[in-house]
Amino acid sequence: MAEHEEPGAPGLFGGVFARGDAQTGDTAWLQAMLDAEAGLARALERAGLVPAGSGAAVTEAAQAGNFDVAELGELAPLTGNPVPALARALARRVPTAAAGAVHLGATSQDIMDTAAMLLAKRAIDVILADLARAAAAAAGLADAHRSTIMIGRTLLQQAVPVTFGLVAAGWLTSVDEARAGLATVSARRLAVQFGGAAGTLAPLGDDGPRVVALLAEELGLAQPVLPWHTDRLRIIDLATALARVTASLGKIARDVTLLAQSEIAEVGEGSGEPAPPGSQGARDGASPRRGGSSAMPHKHNPVASIAILGCTRQAPGLLATLVACAEQELQRAAGAWHAEWEPLTALLRLTGSAASWAAELLSSLVVDTSRMAANLAATKGLPLAEHVTSLLAGVLGGAQAHDLVAEASQRAVSAGLPLRDVLLAVPELEGRLASAGITPEQIESALEPSGYLGAADAFVAAALKAHEALDARLSQGGQDG
């Protein structure tokens, strides 16, 4: 867990807020900075600006295990960031002939910004993999439950029938759109930073642009048109793409918490993972079960959904901070750039954790179709009032039909009767229906939930088709336009 022990997510909370393999801790940051320095040395060598072998020498030395994170942290206050101390320490670890290739032409922000892009790219690869798992699970749910009818709910009240397949298809489409946006940012907006002291690369003269191109090639990042020291739109684009992911996952988690309520119980979370090997719970067999309560033995809480929401609720504030940091002075910012590091790190970590939780949640979601049917039946036909109104409007007019069905619905609720019984058994209503030529069979048909699903199945099919297309595009290295 040491990799995850960072501000905002110490070891005690890492299992919730730093779940998954999207490494963003101090060691990951350090390695990304070292990779930026090593990539620069290789680019400089390819440009013929440093002795042959310099790139390999710096790369060999640029391993996080060779450096003391705590010591670098203690030296960082001297310069406001850890790069100067790191550059000196790295230069001491390479042969004298190669030392001149370390940090040549660069400023601290070049290394930090490039490291942030590398850190983001590596984290995004993991996040996208977890999102692909989540999307595949959602697609499976959508396909399997295309005909599973349930009550739809608007403003938290019973509305009209829907299918659980359509609900899952909504989850799927949202996750896929978030995946596509994140893949686009990863491919197009994560760029190297190399501008030197004030964005001119003056120490390299006319060779500067060529080194930038070589550096981008070495690190697998985009090549910017020019240095972006105080143009932070790339950071905003990255943060926005991450926030879109958390918004998508937060909606799914909120739906599950609502549908998993004891009084509704239409879905439930799977049992989750066992206690980690080597933990006290695994050794003594007495580890808390997933979803358990410290006080109430009967409870099965939707822990994965709750954890997702715990991650995603933090994202808007982090995004707002990063957007606020974009106002930066002249050629180099006094504080705003520094203020980006922790919120960006936290946003990457929390998004990665939410994606990991979501992949497990959707892969193990328990769907209770019998409970869905029972809850729908318990509505006694009231959610089909709109359908009955549509039937009557053709002969009575819209307003009169609405008023008649509203009156019947009120009577049904007051008497605790099915809407059908009121419509067909109350003399004054029955007479009005008969005079309009509406038969009992037509009323019965209008009150059948399966006959009032509209384009639900077509929408599910469209979502599944779009999902297959996105998977194919992303597997070929494409991104959403």
Nearest Cα residue to 344 out of 123, 194, 86, 185: 123
Whether pLDDT at 392 is above 50: yes
- CATH number (1.20.140, 1.10.150, 1.10.40, 3.40.1350) of 382-446 reads 1.10.40
Q: What is the pTM of this model?
A: 0.89
Whether pLDDT at 284 is above 70: no
pLDDT value at position 111?
98
Active site residue: 271, 279, 293, 435, which one?
293
Give percent of the chain above pLDDT 90: 75
pLDDT band at 1 (very low <50, low <70, confident <90, very high): very low
pLDDT value at position 229?
97
Higher pLDDT, 224 or 278: 224
Q: Does 332 participate in catalysis according to the annotation?
A: yes
pLDDT band at 131 (very low <50, low <70, confident <90, very high): very high
Higher pLDDT, 287 or 114: 114
* Domain extent listing, the chain: 19-106+197-223, 122-193+228-379+455-481, 382-446
E strands, 313-394, where?
A: 366-367
Angle (nearest 5°) at CA 94 between 90 and 97: 125
pLDDT value at position 173?
98
Average pLDDT over residues 4-18: 68
Token pair for residue 287? 């580890």
pLDDT band at 56 (very low <50, low <70, confident <90, very high): very high
pLDDT band at 477 (very low <50, low <70, confident <90, very high): confident
Per the prediction, the chain carries an average pLDDT of 90
Active site residue: 254, 332, 371, 473, which one?
332
E strands, 319-410, where?
A: 366-367
Is 1.20.200.10 the CATH classification of the domain at 122-193+228-379+455-481? yes
Whether pLDDT at 425 is above 80: no
Q: 3-class DSSP state for residue 9?
A: strand
Whether pLDDT at 124 is above 70: yes
Q: 3-class DSSP state for residue 293?
A: coil
Q: Tens digit of pLDDT for each residue in 335-386?
A: 999 999 999 999 999 999 999 999 999 999 999 999 999 999 999 999 999 8
Which range is most confident: 6-20, 121-135, 465-479?
121-135
Domain 19-106+197-223 fold is Fumarase C; Chain B, domain 1 (1.10.275)
The answer to whether 193 touches 228, Cβ cutoff 8 Å, is: yes
pLDDT value at position 277?
52
In a 13 Å sphere around the CA of 250, the CA atoms on its Cβ side amount to 16
DSSP class of residue 153 equals E
Whether pLDDT at 15 is above 60: yes
